[in-house]
Amino acid sequence: MPRRLRTLIGTIAILVFVCLYALVAMALAESRVVDAPRLVQTLVYFLLGIAWIAPVFPLIVWMERPRA
């Protein structure tokens, strides 16, 4: 598969994933974290803010690999 096509597919997949992840993270934060102490809120928001990187990283590696 050409690199440009992989990049297009990967970009669309990342955008869809991040939009869905943001909705889930907002729902989780709104339902569970609101009543927590301030330090717990900060930690949860920090973790939710960077947790999307782990599932997206393999997709980025796939997008950037050289043509076989």
pLDDT on residue 29: 85
Domain membership of residue 68 (yes or no) is no
Confidence of residue 58 (pLDDT cuts 50, 70, 90): very high
Residue 54 belongs to domain spanning? 3-63
pLDDT tens sequence across 2-52: 889 999 999 999 999 999 999 999 998 888 888 889 999 999 999 999 999
- The angle at the Cα of 3, spanning 2 to 4, to the nearest 5 degrees, equals 95
Domains held by the chain: number: 1
Name the one residue in this structure whose structure tokens are 């994933």. 17
CA dist., res. 55 & res. 31, Å (int): 23
Q: What is the pLDDT of residue 2?
A: 87
Q: What is the pTM of this model?
A: 0.81
Residue 22 resides in a domain: yes
Residue 29 falls within a domain, yes or no?
A: yes
Structural domain includes residue 20:
yes
